[in-house]
């Protein structure tokens, strides 16, 4: 069974520069839930990797994060979809942890827990730090233009030269499942 790694904010749900701090603020990007359902039905394992520094900043607590993820999972369930695991970093950049993207701690945790190398695994994000973490573990970076994706394109980072780019998660999944991308 193949694995796909997804960032949360800006890939699955609408993003906010003020953080997603409550279940009410969590709103799926059109087509994202259906895209995950399509991946599941095609035999892909889907995991979420997300920086959630709002916890470290005191904007919301872990219980609230759990409720946000519960809402996401209910939307997925209604569409016949699921994510296998949600890996999150609660730290701020000032904490200098190993799990906050672009560092690779969460990705290495996936390898350990799932017993699978991430070499070549598609990793979908909307920010430069998502792409940098993906490349650092040998995953194949995919940029979506939702969330902060357009800002990421404006960065003109050299990493973008080797990054697959799509309008949104649904268009990436459509291309992948149509056989126009090779699965890792």
Rounded average pLDDT over 99-108: 97
**Coil, helix or strand at residue 88:** strand
Is 15 catalytic? The answer is no
Q: Does 184 have pLDDT greater than 60?
A: no
Helix ranges, the chain (H): 32-41, 53-56, 62-78, 105-114, 128-136, 149-154, 169-177
**47-92, pLDDT tens digit by residue?**
999 999 999 999 999 999 999 999 999 999 999 999 999 999 999 9
Domains annotated for the chain, with CATH where assigned, are: 3-177 (3.40.50.1000)
Is 18 catalytic? The answer is no
């Amino acid at each position: 069974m193949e694995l796909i790694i997804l960032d949360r904010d800006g890939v699955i749900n609408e993003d906010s520069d003020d953080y997603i701090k409550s279940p009410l603020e969590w709103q799926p990007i059109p087509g994202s839930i259906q895209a995950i359902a399509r991946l599941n039905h095609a035999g892909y394992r889907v995991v979420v990797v997300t920086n959630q520094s709002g916890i470290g900043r005191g904007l919301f607590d872990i219980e609230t994060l759990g409720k946000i993820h519960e809402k996401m999972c209910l939307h997925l369930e209604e569409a016949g979809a699921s994510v296998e695991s949600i890996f999150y970093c609660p730290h701020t950049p000032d904490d200098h942890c190993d799990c906050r993207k672009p560092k690779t701690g969460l990705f290495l945790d996936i390898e350990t827990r799932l017993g699978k190398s991430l070499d070549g695994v598609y990793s979908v994000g909307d920010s430069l730090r998502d792409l940098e973490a993906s490349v650092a573990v040998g995953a194949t970076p995919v940029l979506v233009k939702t969330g902060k994706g357009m800002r990421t394109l404006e960065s003109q980072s050299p990493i973008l030269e080797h990054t697959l780019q799509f309008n949104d998660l649904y268009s990436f999944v459509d291309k992948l499942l149509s056989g126009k991308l090779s699965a890792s």
